[in-house]
Structure formats: C-alpha cells, structure tokens
Amino acid sequence: MSMKHILITGASSGIGQALALEYAAPGVCLSLSARNKARLHEVAQKCRDKGAEVDEQIIDVMDRGAMTQWLITRDEHREIDLIIANAGISGGSSGVENWEESTRDIFAVNLAGTLNTILPIIPLMINRGRGQVALMSSLAGFRGLASSPAYSASKVAVKAYGEALRMRYQHNGLKVNVICPGFVKSRITAQNTFKMPLLMEGPKAARIIKNGLLKNKAVIAFPWPMALAARLFALMPLAIVERITKIMPSKE
C-alpha cells in the first residue's frame, strides 16, 4: 500500500529535506517540522510545487507537550501512515567549549526528541493494526565511539530501541525500521573539518531510505562499505578498538 500521510521531523535541511522532497507527490500529505521557519517554508513550498499537501510546523522535538498536540492533531486530520523521526544534532547548542551542556543537548534531542516524536502515535497505530515508524540512528550507532561519545551513545540507544520495538510489535501490524546513514551532505556534516569517506548527496540517501522502508528492512544501513565496516568494528574486542580510536578524529 502506498503511503498517504508521512510525518518528518527535522525537515528543513539535510536528510529530512531530501526525504520530504523524495516523498512529495500528488495525493501525498506531508507533515513537516523543524526549528528554522525560513528553511522549512522553502522546503514545504518545493513539496507543494510537486503536488503534495503540506503542513509545516515550527516546533522543537524536545517540547513534549507541543509535539504530542501536533502529532495528535495531524493524525486526526488524516491518519499518519509513516513517521520518520529524523531530527537530531551532533553537537550541543552551547558549542564544544561547554562539554557538559553539549553532551546533555545531544542526548536530549537525539533520544528524548525521538521518543517525543513516536510515542504519542504508536498506540494509535497498534490499535489500527497498521502503521510504520522509522528512527534515525547512524553508522556511529553500532558502537560507542571515543571520537563522539555522546552522539554515538545516543544513536546506539535509538538503534537498540528501534530494534526492540520492531520485535515486540511485529505481530501487531506496526512496522519499525532503523535508519543508519554514513556521511550525508547536510548542515551538520558541513561543520566537520575531517575527511568523510563516501560522503553522499541527500537525494541519493533519501532514495535508499525510501526503498528500504518500502521493503520494511529492519536496519537501513548505507553506504554498504561503511556499513560493513561499522558491523565489523562492533564485533572487535575492546583492546583492538582502543588502538584504532587513537587515530580517529574527534567530533565533540
């Protein structure tokens, strides 16, 4: 069954923007949220130009009450078929000079923000016996990384939670998928000063994700060479990992 109502957080740039444009088409209702009004409006207008019905909402995923109200309102407008909990950060709003604040911000947005996006709607999807929820993790979510402790740990948690939800509700009609991208061009990766292997354009990443969701893949990890490396890295003994991490660049 083709998707009719798709909700995407963090839709004003990067993968979120690319996904919104990839799904935009006549007969599709898009509910898009972000924190930057100008960028979100530009994305929403491009989606409307492609024939989609679009609701744009300026909202912080950490605002639990506001997120719940928006999600329920959008589901009442038209039952949500797919939620993509995409909003996330790799560095705190206070910058690297405030390590504690940065760490707390990363966990709040990447983990609590994801929960605020999916928990209000999951019971409704289960009661309907259908629905799909996609959680944005990362290839960094296969193991805690010394180069980005908070970011990788938050993505490890998202990945594990998504996999657990998928198994728990597989017989209730709820599809749960975890997305684990490598480096994709975005405002986040633009801040990186180190080499990013196999850096991918947003539209290509969006096509890979859309195809994986259509196939209901448990984990959509790409590009495949880096996904394979991440899986192998997760299996390595800690002593070997410690040696490798000495040459890895620090993100936080």
Q: Which of 23, 151, 161, 169 is catalytic?
A: 151
The single residue listed with the structure tokens 């994305």 is: 43
Could you tell me which of 181, 241, 175, 246 has the C-alpha nearest to residue 208?
A: 181
Whether 135 contacts 155, CB under 8 Å? no
Q: Is 161 a catalytic residue?
A: no
Whether 188 contacts 90, CB under 8 Å? yes
Taken as a whole, the chain contains a residue count of 252
Could you tell me which of 252, 239, 225 has the C-alpha nearest to residue 152?
A: 252
Give the list of residues 6+ apart from residue 24 with CB closer than 8 angstroms, or none. Answer: 30, 46, 47, 48, 50, 51, 52, 54
135 beta partners: 85, 178
CA dihedral 207, 87, 177, 158 (to 10 degrees): 140
CA dihedral 203, 205, 211, 215 (to 10 degrees): -160
CA dihedral 146, 151, 152, 155 (to 10 degrees): 170
Whether 52 contacts 30, CB under 8 Å? yes
SS3 198: coil
Catalytic residues: 151
